[in-house]
Structure 1
Amino acid sequence: MNKIIVYEYVDFKGLHREFTSDVPDLHNVDFGDCISSLKVIGQPWLTFSDSNYKGLAHPYEEGEYNHISRNDVISSLQLVSEDLEHPQITLFDKPDFKGANKIITEETNLTYGYFNDKASSHIVQKGVWLLYEHGDRKGWEYIAREGNKLPNYESVFRLNKKCSYVYPLKGGQPVIISNILWDHKKVESERNVVIDEINGVNNTDFEQIFTTTSSKTYESSTSHSFKLKTSALKLDGSFYLRIDPSTNILVEKGSIDSVTKDKVEVILPAKIPPHSELNIRVIMKLVTASVPVELTITRNGKSKTECGEYRSVSGSSISAKYIMKPVEKKTD
C-alpha cells in the first residue's frame, strides 16, 4: 500500500497522521504547517508549502526522514500516481522544443557531458523527473511530471540554460510473490559419488562386533540458484522461494547463489560373520534439477507476471552399500 506517515516533531515524535490518498489542505485535518519528520511507504509523495498543491514542492521517495529541511511549512500532500518504470525525458537547447535535443532515461549528471547548462525546454514522455540547477543536486529544483511540456524555462523559473542534473523519481519496493511450479520439475542429471569407505575383516570362526560405530553422521548440502528468464529484466525488490517447509531462500535483485547444509545419519551393520570381509561404501547421490518459477510483481496497484528458473544441485540423499565376501581360512 502507498502510504505517508507525518509527525509533529523530528525523530518521529509527537502527534502523527497517516494518509493513503491526496490531502489538499492539511489544516482541515488539524495538521497544517507542523510536519517535521515523515515516513514514506510505496510510491513517492509530493509535499507543498500551500494548500491545493501550490507553493514550493518537494518529493519524498520511499524511506524514513527523521528530519526534513522544510519543516513546519507543509500544507498539502499528493501521492505520485505515475508509472515510474522506464522513465524518459527529452531536453531541448532552445525554447518551444527546438534546436538540439537530448533523450534521457536514467539519472544523469549533465556536467559530465556536452548538454550541461543548455536546456531551455523539455517534454516528459514517462515518469516524474527532478531538474536541478547544479551538478550536486542543489540550487533551483523543478518537478517535471509525465506529459509535462514546458516550452520555455525562462518564463517559469530561473533554470534557463542552467540545468545540470536530472533525476527520475524511483517507485517503492514492489511486492513479489513466487510460485514454484513443481509439477514441471526437470531432472537434468544424476550421479553417485563415494564419500566414505569402511572395511572390516573377520578371520575367526566366530561372529564379531564391527569395530566402527553402528551409525555415522555425514554432512549433506544443496546449492540453490535462481535466474530470470528475461536477461534484460531487473528486479529491485526481494522475495523468498519456499523450497520445502523448513527452507526459505531469499532472492535479492533477481538472483541467488546459496548453499544449505544438513546432517544425514547412515546406519552401519554391527556384526561381521566368521571368515568374512565387509566393505561399506557411503554413497551420495547428486541430483541436478530445474523448476520454472512464476513471479507476480505488484507495484502501485498494478500487477504483472514474470518467469524465472530455480535450479538445485542436491546431495541430500546419502546411503550405504554393503559388500560381504568370504575370506579363506588361515591354516597353521
Structure 2
Amino acid sequence: MNKIIVYEHVDFKGLHREFTLDVPDLHSMDFGDCISSLKVIGQPWLAFNDSDYKGLAHAYEEGEYNHIGQNDSISSLQLVSEDLEHPQITLFDKPNFEGASKIITEETNLLYGYFNDKASSHIVQKGVWLLYEHANRKGWQYIAREGDKLSNYESVFHFNKKCSHVYPLQGGRATITSNILWDSQKIESEREVVIDEIKGVNNTDFEQTFTTTTSKIYESATSHSFKLKLSGLKVNESFYLSIGPSTNLKVEKGNIDSMVTVDKVEVIMPANIPPHSELNIRVIRKVVTASVPVELTITKNGKSKTECGEYRSVSGSNISARYIMKPVQKKV
C-alpha cells in the first residue's frame, strides 16, 4: 500500500497522522504547518508549502526522514501516481522546445557533459523528474511531472540555463510472491553413489551379533538454486522461495545465488549374522537432479506482472542400505 506517515516532531516523535490519499489542506485535518519528520511506504509523495498543492514542493521517496527541510511548513500532500518505470525527459537549449536537445532516461549529472547550464525548456515523456540548479542534487529544484511541457524556464521560475542535474523519482519497493509449480517437476538425472561398505563374517556354528547398534547415521546435503528464465531480467527486490516446511531460499537483490541444506539420515542395520555366513552391506546414496518452473508475481504501485524462473535442486538425501548374504565354508 502507498502511504505517508507524518510526525509533529523530529525523530518520529509527537502526534502523527497516516494518509493513503491526497490531502489538499492539512489544516482541515488539524495537522497543517507542523510536520517535522515523516515516513513513506510505496510510491513517492509530494509535500507542498501551501494548500491545494501550491507553493514550494519537495519530493519524498520511500524511506524514513527523521528531519526534513520543510520543517513546520507543509500544508498539502499529494501521492505521485505516475508510472515511474522507464522515465524519459527531453531538454532543449532554447525556449519553445527549439535548438539543441538532449534525451535523458536516467539520473544524469550534466556537469560532466556538454549540456550543463544550457536547458531553457523541456518535455517530460515519462515519469517524474527533479531538475536541480547545481550538480549532485543540490541547489534550487523544480519538479517536472509526466506530460509537463515547459516552454520557457525564464518566464516561469528564473531557472533559464541553470540546470546542472536531473533525477527521475524512483517507485517504491516491489512485492514479489513466488509459486513453485511442483506438478511440473522434471527429473533431469539420477545416479547412485556408494558412500559406505561394511563386511561381517560369522565362521561359527552360532548366530552372531553383527553390530551393537541397529542403525547408523549419515549426513546428506541438498543444493538449491534459482535462476530467471530471461538472462537480461533483473530482480530488484529480495524474496523467498518456500521449498519446504523449514527450508526457504532467499533470493537477494542483485544476487541470485544458491544454498545448501544438510540433513542426517538414519539407516537401519541388520542385528545378526547367521552361522557360517558372510554379510556385505553397501550404503547407497541416490543423487537426484531436478528442476521445477517458478512463477513470480511482481507487484508495484498496484500493477502486477508475471515472470518465469526455475528452481533447481541436487539432492542426496535418499540413503539406503543393500545387503548381500552368502554362505562361507566351514573350516576343517
Tell me the alpha carbon deviations over residues 129-177 of structure 1, each in whole angstroms, 9 at most, x when there is no partner. 1111222211121111111112222222343323222211111111222
Gaps of 5+ in 2: none
Quote the residue 1:3 is aligned against.
3
Matches within 5 A, 1:1-332: 1-211=1-211, 213-253=213-253, 255-331=256-332
Instruction: Give 1:280 deviation, angstroms.
Output: 1.8
Structure 1: how far apart are the matches of 2:173 and 2:285?
Answer: 41
Structure 1: how far apart are the matches of 2:186 and 2:314?
Answer: 12
Q: Go from structure 1 to structure 2 and tell me whether the alpha carbon gap of 1:54 and 1:320 turns closer, same or farther (over 3 Å shift).
A: same
Any idea what SS the aligned residue of 2:142 has?
strand
* Structure 2 length-normalised TM: 0.94
Q: Mean Cα displacement is larger for which, 258-267 or 105-114?
A: 105-114
Q: Mean Cα displacement is larger for which, 143-152 or 115-124?
A: 115-124
Instruction: Give 1:239 deviation, angstroms.
Output: 2.3
Q: Which amino acid aligns with 1:184?
A: S
Percent identical? 82
Any idea what SS the aligned residue of 2:111 has?
helix
Q: Mean Cα displacement is larger for which, 57-66 or 111-120?
A: 111-120
Q: Mean Cα displacement is larger for which, 293-302 or 69-78?
A: 293-302
The answer on whether the counterparts of 1:36 and 1:72 sit within 8 Å (CA) in structure 2 is: yes
Instruction: Give 1:54 deviation, angstroms.
Output: 0.9
Instruction: Give 1:199 deviation, angstroms.
Output: 2.2
Q: Go from structure 1 to structure 2 and tell me whether the alpha carbon gap of 1:330 and 1:5 turns closer, same or farther (over 3 Å shift).
A: same
Q: Mean Cα displacement is larger for which, 309-318 or 230-239?
A: 230-239
Q: Mean Cα displacement is larger for which, 39-48 or 99-108?
A: 99-108
Q: Which amino acid aligns with 1:70?
A: Q
Q: Which amino acid aligns with 1:272?
A: I
RMSD over equivalenced CA pairs, Å: 1.7
Q: Go from structure 1 to structure 2 and tell me whether the alpha carbon gap of 1:206 and 1:83 turns closer, same or farther (over 3 Å shift).
A: same
* Structure 1 length-normalised TM: 0.94
Q: Mean Cα displacement is larger for which, 194-203 or 119-128?
A: 194-203
Any idea what SS the aligned residue of 2:31 has?
coil
Instruction: Give 1:244 deviation, angstroms.
Output: 2.2
Structure 1: how far apart are the matches of 2:227 and 2:99?
Answer: 44
Any idea what SS the aligned residue of 1:140 has?
strand
Any idea what SS the aligned residue of 1:102 has?
strand
Any idea what SS the aligned residue of 2:67 has?
coil
Instruction: Give 1:22 deviation, angstroms.
Output: 0.2
**Equivalent residue pairs, number:** 331
